[in-house]
Each structure stands twice: as C-alpha cells, then as structure tokens.
Amino acid sequence: MQKKLPPVRFKTILQIDVPQARNSKHKAIVEAIISDLDQLKNGSAVRIPLTELGDSKANVRSALNRVTRNSKRKVVTAADSEFLYVWNS
C-alpha cells in the first residue's frame, strides 16, 4: 500500500531554467576593477571616477569586498569626492 503524498504547493521549473550564478548589478564594474588590478604594477592604484560606478561608492566597495574576500585576495580602497582608488595590498 502506497502512502498518499500531499499536493505540491510550489510551482516547478526545469533545472536548465534555474539561475546558476548570482549576477549582481555590480558584476561588470567589479570584474573590470579586478581585471585592472591583475595588470597593476606594484606601487600603483586604479583610479575610478565615481560617475562610472553605476551605484553608490559604498555599495560598489561592498561588492568588491565580497568578491576579493571570497577569492582570498587583499585589496585596499580609498576615495575622495571624485574618485574611488583601489590597489593590491
């Protein structure tokens, strides 16, 4: 005798349609910063105009921090009224 299961409560989708990566709105700018950092000479910093961040300086710094922390990479950031500066630690 088979046990009767309760009805399914949630909608289902095909696995192929499930998002496989978290693509945040900061992905493009963070990838660009990381790429520039990979090519950076010792003693240099990347200078990014705040107008090119696409979001607040704090939000981009947070996204960059998450990515670099997950990849065990150490970077330092600073900012003034016009630019965000990032360099390898």
The domain tally of the chain equals: 1
Is residue 69 one of the residues assigned to a domain? yes
Is residue 35 one of the residues assigned to a domain? yes
The reported pLDDT for the residue numbered 83 is 96
Is residue 52 one of the residues assigned to a domain? yes
Residues 6+ apart with CB under 8 A from 48: 29, 33, 83, 84, 85, 86
Domain with residue 69: its CATH number is: 3.30.1370
Residues 6+ apart with CB under 8 A from 30: 24, 60, 63, 64, 67
Is residue 19 one of the residues assigned to a domain? no
Q: What is the pLDDT of residues 6-64, one digit of tens each?
A: 888 888 899 888 876 666 788 899 999 999 999 999 999 999 999 999 899 999 999 99
Is residue 2 one of the residues assigned to a domain? no
| Burial environment of residue 84 by CB neighbours within 10 A (0 to 12, 13 to 18, 19 or more) | buried
The reported pLDDT for the residue numbered 17 is 85
Is residue 9 one of the residues assigned to a domain? no
The reported pLDDT for the residue numbered 22 is 64
In this predicted structure, the answer to whether residue 3 has a pLDDT above a threshold of 90 is no
- Measure the CA–CA gap between 65 and 59, rounded to whole angstroms: 10
Q: pTM of the predicted model, to two decimals?
A: 0.73
Q: Which domain holds residue 33?
A: 26-88
